């Protein structure tokens, strides 16, 4: 299978590969319901397995940046026990990943968490910080995990930060530009996504990177996140390659 996958990727890489792919990982709970999985976090556990596969594929295809929409700012409105369940699972997986990073198994992966991290409990926040520290020097695929994130919150946060900076900088004119705000966005560390893939069959961005996706190809697949496989990713990239000339032309017009 690995040989076959490598061959498929070799063919795929003849064409342009998206510089940055964002994933809206929807469908974990529907997956659990579909397969009669009883535990509250069963669907999310299956979702994490999918995350590891997708990141591996993106590394093999040499995509430089991947963003994962893991937990929306608005998701805190969910039932407290469900929120706690997801937070506990995230903590478990982050601690596992830290162990892997320390033992040298994650040399080609750099992980960054963005969003309103103050909304996370102290232990999870500390774990996320620790994972960022241990992978900080790594080269290779940069994975940006969006937690407690939404574009509307990001825009307000960026405006606040840029205004506070302006107040502190007495020399510059007290007028904000687009660049001032964009510098203060959580996602300023990565280029705009070239391709956004949403699983679960829904057609909306759900308050995810609406500022950054003006020139992105928005691709939806009916597959639920834990069902996302190699061919779904290949299909999305093939669609991107078909539209590459058009998207590049749009970028030049900006």
139 is an interface residue for another protein by CB under 8 A: no
Residue 117 in the binding site for another protein (CB under 8 A)? no
Nearest distance from residue 74's CB to another protein, in Å? 2
Residue 26 a catalytic site member: yes
C-beta of 232: minimal distance to another protein in Å?
14
Give CA 119 to chain center in angstroms: 18
Residue 251, interface with another protein (CB under 8 A)? Answer: no
Contact status: 88 vs another protein (CB under 8 A) = no
Q: Are 157 and 181 within 8 A, CB to CB? A: no
Interface with another protein includes 156 (CB under 8 A)?
Answer: yes
Q: What is the nearest approach in angstroms of another protein to the Cβ of residue 139? A: 26
Residue 207 CB contacts under 8 Å (≥ 6 apart), including other chains: 72, 73, 74, 150, 151, 152
What is the contact mask toward another protein in residues 21 to 60, using x (rule: CB under 8 A)? ---xxx-xx--------------x--x-------------
Is the Cβ of residue 108 or residue 242 nearer to another protein in the bound state? 242
In this chain, which of 78, 93, 125, 130 binds another protein, going by CB under 8 A?
Answer: 78
Q: Going residue by residue from 58 to 77, which x/- string records binding to another protein, judged by CB under 8 A? A: -----------xxxxxxx-x
Instruction: Pick the piece of the chain touching another protein (CB under 8 A) from 98-106, 107-115, 130-138, 170-178.
Output: 170-178
Contacts of 232 (CB under 8 A, 6+ apart): 197, 199, 221, 223
Tokens of 53: 């596969």
Instruction: Name the one range near another protein by CB under 8 A: 55-63, 96-104, 135-143, 219-227.
Output: 219-227
- Cβ neighbour number for residue 34 with a 10 Å cutoff: 13
Contacts of 166 (CB under 8 A, 6+ apart): 172, 174, 176, 180
Task: Classify 252 as helix, strand or coil.
Answer: helix
Q: Give the count of beta carbons closer than 10 Å to the beta carbon of residue 91.
A: 18
Contact 199, 25 (CB under 8 A): yes
Catalytic residue positions, numbered: 26
């Amino acid at each position: 299978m690995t040989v076959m996958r490598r061959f498929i990727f070799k063919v795929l890489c003849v064409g342009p590969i998206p510089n940055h792919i964002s994933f809206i990982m929807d469908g974990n709970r529907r997956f659990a319901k579909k397969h009669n999985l009883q535990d509250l976090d069963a669907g999310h556990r299956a979702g994490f397995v999918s995350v590891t596969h997708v990141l591996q594929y993106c590394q093999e295809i040499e995509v430089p940046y991947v963003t994962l929409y893991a937990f929306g700012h608005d998701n805190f409105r969910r039932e407290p026990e469900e929120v706690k369940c997801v937070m506990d699972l995230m903590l478990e997986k982050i601690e596992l990943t830290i162990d892997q990073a320390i033992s040298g198994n994650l040399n080609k992966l750099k992980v960054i968490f963005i969003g309103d991290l103050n909304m996370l409990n102290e232990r999870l926040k500390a774990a996320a910080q620790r994972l960022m520290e241990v992978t900080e020097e790594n080269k290779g695929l940069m994975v940006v995990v969006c937690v407690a994130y939404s574009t509307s919150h990001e825009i307000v946060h960026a405006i606040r930060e840029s205004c506070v900076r302006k107040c502190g900088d007495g020399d510059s004119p007290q007028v904000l530009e687009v660049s001032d705000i964009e510098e203060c966005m959580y996602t300023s560390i990565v280029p705009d996504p070239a391709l956004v893939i949403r699983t679960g069959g829904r057609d909306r961005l759900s308050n995810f990177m609406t500022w950054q996706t003006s020139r992105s190809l928005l691709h939806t697949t009916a597959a639920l996140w834990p069902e996302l496989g190699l061919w779904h990713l290949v299909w999305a990239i093939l669609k991107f390659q078909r539209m590459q000339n058009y998207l590049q032309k749009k970028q030049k017009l900006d």
